[in-house]
Amino acid sequence: MTTYKIDPAHSEIAFKVKHMMIATVSGNFTQFDATLQTEAPDFNNATISFEADVNSINTNNEQRDGHLKSEDFFAAEKFPKLTFVSKSFTKEDEEEYKLVGDLTIRGVTKTVELAVEYGGTMTDPYGQIKAGFDISGKINRKEFGLSWGVVTEAGGVVVSDDVKLHLSIQMVKQA
């Protein structure tokens, strides 16, 4: 079994959500951890676990970040971590994989399917073997209890239910 750990300096855990249905707000988590374990050199059937510290959410707006940490959204005091545990990681072709697993936010666990693009494996100048992956998908925030919402005077929704996920991940092979 070969183990890889996430390289936080070269990884980004990002999301996008429509605001007022006319603009997109982007954010990310700055504190996170992930482990990938594989028996196959091509990562087929690898097992993956991930967690992010909810209090590390960053949308470049302190007031909005505070609101996202509150009971209206993530309830960070009660649920300080969001987690993901893979059920399957299936190679579709040389670059594409399908990742299925259980995502837990606010104590609610749902199975999600994510698309993974494998960027390749390289040895860095320090002799570390690194593998790169871009992961994307979409979740409905209300399915995880992030149900806060306000309707504008014109009847528009302030925050979209759909949240687009985009993770750019670099994993480091452990000795």
> What separation in angstroms does the CA of 50 have from each of 3, 28, 34, 85, 167?
14, 15, 4, 7, 11
Domains delineated in the chain: 2-173 (2.40.128.110)
Give φ, ψ of 143 to 5 degrees: -65, -20
In terms of pTM, does the model score above 0.85? Answer: yes
How is residue 64 written in tokens?
């909005």
- CB contact set of 106 (below 8 Å; sequence gap of 6+): 74, 75, 78, 79, 144, 145, 146
pLDDT tens for residues 13-22?
Answer: 999 987 766 6
Residue 173 to residue 135: CA distance in whole angstroms: 19
Q: Which residues of the chain have pLDDT under 70?
A: 20-22, 148-159
Which spans in the chain are helix H? 62-69
Give pLDDT, residue 147: 76
Q: Please identify which residue in the block is written with the tokens 């940490």.
A: 69
Residue 88 to residue 97: CA distance in whole angstroms: 10
